[in-house]
Each structure stands twice: as structure tokens, then as C-alpha cells.
Amino acid sequence: MERFYTFLFVAGLGCFAIAFVLSMIFPWMSLGSYHGMEYKTLEDLAARPSVEFVELSKSYPQDFAQAFGSAEPTAAAFAEALQRGRDLYVGQACWHCHSQYVRPVANEDLRFGPVSVAQEYQNALAQPHLWGTRRVGPDLSREHGKRTNDWHVAHFINPKNVVANSVMPRYDFYFSFDADGRVRPSKDALSLITYVQWLGSESGRR
């Protein structure tokens, strides 16, 4: 028994396969079409530009037009902003300091909002999911509508602007300033705010 092939096939392939079936195939089957959960593409999600996105286009028309090609907050521009925002959220590893799911314990529904359900992650912006495993900052999956765009601008430029003892890094490199001190958000800044403001808007919409 204690031979090469035993360990190659039984342990190496066999045991791996059993675990793979149990922890991948099963959840995938019960989370997939079985319960009638449909998958939403980026275009589905971005069909209706959010109020926050529209507001960004009005507050920063010049920067907005420069970023998305026109001053009009179209569905295509919204999709682009969401995707870019998500990419930055991943690339800057925001997800190592923020979680994106609300658990049914520890009073999280009181602190953050409705407990997460599988359906809200069945879409292109949650692939791969960004649940995270550490909360240095709060959960962001119910961020939608919680703060104003202006709050986020002030916060990303320097979190200490709004929370004196914040340990969140500054993201002021996504902004520039006019000669008269006005904030000029870059495309990255607009996208990040759009994405953060979008988080959780799927939970109410079924």
C-alpha cells in the first residue's frame, strides 16, 4: 500500500476530488438555477444610472465629461464607472480592510442593515466576490445612500477630514485642486465613489 501510486492517486487526486465535490459542486448547485436565482451582467446592473452617479455628473460636469466622454450620465458611462470602481477597490486592496457581507449575528443588522442573501452576489460585480475577511473599517455592503457624495470626496481625500482618528489611508492622489482650491476628481475618484455608493442597492431590488 505504501507506494508511489497510492499517494499520487488516492491522496493526491482522490481526496482533493471528494472535497472539491462537497465544497464546490454542492453550493454551486443549490445556489445556481435550482432556486431560480438569475445571474446579472454588468449591463443589467447598470441599466438605471444611480442618483449618486447623476449627481456626480452635475457637481463636476467638466471632470465628468473628461472622464466618460460626455457630460451625460448614460447607462454605458455608469457601467464603465462601476467596473472601474470595482477594479480599484480590488487593486488597492480595500477589501482587506472592509467586508462586504452582513451576518445574522453580532447585531450586524442593527449596525449595517439587512442581512446578506445569496441573490445579491449573483452578478458580475461580485465575481470574484469581495466579502473580505477583516474589518478594520466597517462593512460596506450597505453603503448605498448612507453618505453623500461630498462626504465621500472629503473622506477619500483624507479620512481624517471626517473621522478624526481614522486609520484608513488617504486617497488624495485621485484628486487634484484648482488654483482657487476647488476639488477636481479624476476618473478614478468618480468611479470609486460611484461603486461605493452602489454597494447594497441590489439588496432591495429583486
Partner 1 sequence: MSSSIAVPLSAAGARDEAVPLVDYGLIRAHLYAAFACLALSMLAGFLYSLQFLGYYPFTEGRLAELLSPGHVRLMHTNLVAYGWLVNGFTGMLYYVVPRLTGERVLSRGLGTLIFWAWQLILVLAAVGYLLDHGQAIEWGETPTGFRPGTFELVYVPVDALVTVGAVLVILQFMVPLYRARHQKYYVTLWYFTAGLVWLALTYLMGNVLPEWVLPGASGAAVTGLFIHDLVGLYVTPMGWGLMYFFVPLILRKPIWSHSLSVIGFWALAFFYPLGGVHHFLLSPIPDYVEFGAISTTIAIEIVVTTVIVNFFMSLRGSWDKLRTSFALRWFYTGAVMYMITCFQCAFQTTWAFQEIIHFSDWVVGHAHMIMFGTFTFWVYGVIDWLWPRVTGRRWYSTSLRSWHYWLSAIGIVLMFTILTAGGLIAGYMQKDLNPWEQIIDAQAPFWLFRTVTGALLIIGMLCQAYNMVMTAKAGKPFEEEEAPAESPEPVA
Question: Applying CB under 6 A, which part among 7-15, 74-82, 103-111, 137-145 lies near ligand HEC?
Answer: 137-145
Cell numbers standing for residue 109 = 443588522
Q: Which of 123, 146, 158, 187 contacts ligand HEC by CB under 6 A?
A: 146
| 23 contact, one of ligand HEC, partner 1, none, CB 5-8 Å limit per kind | partner 1
Count of CB atoms within 10 A of residue 97's CB? 17
Q: Which region, left, alpha or beta, applies to residue 137 given φ > 0 means left and ψ of -120 to 50 means alpha? A: beta
Confirm if 142 and 173 have CB atoms less than 8 A apart. Answer: no
The 94-123 site mask, x for binding ligand HEC (CB under 6 A), equals x--xx-------------------------
Cell numbers standing for residue 142 = 450597505
The DSSP symbol for 24 reads: I
Cell numbers standing for residue 51 = 442618483
Single-letter code of the amino acid located at 135: R
| 27 contact, one of ligand HEC, partner 1, none, CB 5-8 Å limit per kind | partner 1
Q: How far is the CB of 170 from ligand HEC (least distance, A)?
A: 10
| Alpha-carbon dihedral angle through residues 84, 147, 52, 46, given to the nearest 10 degrees | 50
Is 168 near ligand HEC (CB under 6 A)? yes
Residues 38-97 that bind ligand HEC (CB under 6 A): 89, 92, 94, 97
Cell numbers standing for residue 23 = 465544497
Question: Applying CB under 8 A, which part among 27-35, 51-59, 63-71, 73-81 lies near partner 1?
Answer: 27-35
Q: Which residues bind ligand HEC (CB under 6 A)?
A: 89, 92, 94, 97-98, 136-138, 140, 143, 146-147, 159, 163, 166-169, 171, 192, 196
